[in-house]
Structure formats: structure tokens, C-alpha cells
């Protein structure tokens, strides 16, 4: 186990440096590429911060929903097969809630400024 700084702190520090010190002096197409790079680093920071908790919650929901244990990949594959075969659908108890929460957890990492995501957070 490494001491500080954490991977999250390192990635955030690089993103902040690029955003605050480099971006103001870059223009044109390089400025665009720099913004894309900063956005990617911000996404990695969010993923490092949120992934463990959201993956654990998703695994617990899937285990309850499917009535079995397994890895996250395995259980997602089983769920997809059940949906594809018609064995599970939105009437299946807990499925709609699971899909909604999984989507919200993914948006928290990928698109936390997405207007519909932010509106949904405000209703909770």
C-alpha cells in the first residue's frame, strides 16, 4: 500500500495544473485537445473516487435480484441473458430500480453535469 499522495490526488493535481497553468496560454486546436485531456483526467478522478462504492452496491443489488453470487461481470452477463430471453423485464421486482441506480452511478462518473442527472439528484 502506498502512502500519500493517492492516485486520485495525483490525477487531480495534474488536471488542476493543466487547467490553471497551461490552459490559459494554449490556443487553437491544442486548446481543444487540452480540454479533452483535462476532461479525461477529471473522469478518471471521479472513477477512482466512486467506483469501489458503486461497484459494491451494484454487486449487492445484482446478487439480490438474481438470487446468486458471482463477480460483477458474471452477474451482469446473467442479467443481460435473462433480459434477452424474456425471463426478466421491467415488471421483475427490483429490476427497474437496479437499472436506474446503475445508470445514475455511471452518470456520476461520466457526465455529472448532465442536466437530467442533476435534476434527478435534486428530487432525492
Q: What digits encode the pLDDT tens for the residues 63-117?
A: 999 999 999 999 999 999 999 999 999 999 999 999 999 999 999 999 999 999 9
Q: Please indicate, yes or no, whether the overall pTM of this predicted structure exceeds 0.85.
A: no
The residue to which cell 436506474 is assigned: 100
Q: Answer for the pair 70, 78: CB distance below 8 angstroms, yes or no.
A: yes
Among 75, 49, 46, residue whose Cα is nearest residue 63: 75
The residue to which cell 483535462 is assigned: 38
Amino acid at each position: 500500500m502506498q502512502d500519500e499522495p493517492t492516485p486520485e490526488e495525483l490525477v487531480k493535481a495534474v488536471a488542476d495544473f493543466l487547467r490553471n497553468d497551461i490552459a490559459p496560454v494554449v490556443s487553437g486546436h491544442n486548446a481543444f485537445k487540452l480540454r479533452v485531456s483535462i476532461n479525461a483526467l477529471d473522469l478518471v478522478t471521479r472513477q477512482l473516487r466512486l467506483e469501489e462504492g458503486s461497484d459494491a452496491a451494484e454487486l449487492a443489488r445484482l446478487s439480490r435480484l438474481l438470487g446468486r453470487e458471482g463477480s460483477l461481470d458474471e452477474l451482469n452477463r446473467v442479467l443481460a441473458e435473462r433480459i434477452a430471453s424474456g425471463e426478466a423485464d421491467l415488471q421483475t421486482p427490483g429490476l427497474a430500480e437496479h437499472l436506474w441506480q446503475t445508470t445514475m452511478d455511471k452518470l456520476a462518473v461520466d457526465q455529472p453535469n448532465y442536466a437530467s442527472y442533476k435534476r434527478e439528484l435534486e428530487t432525492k
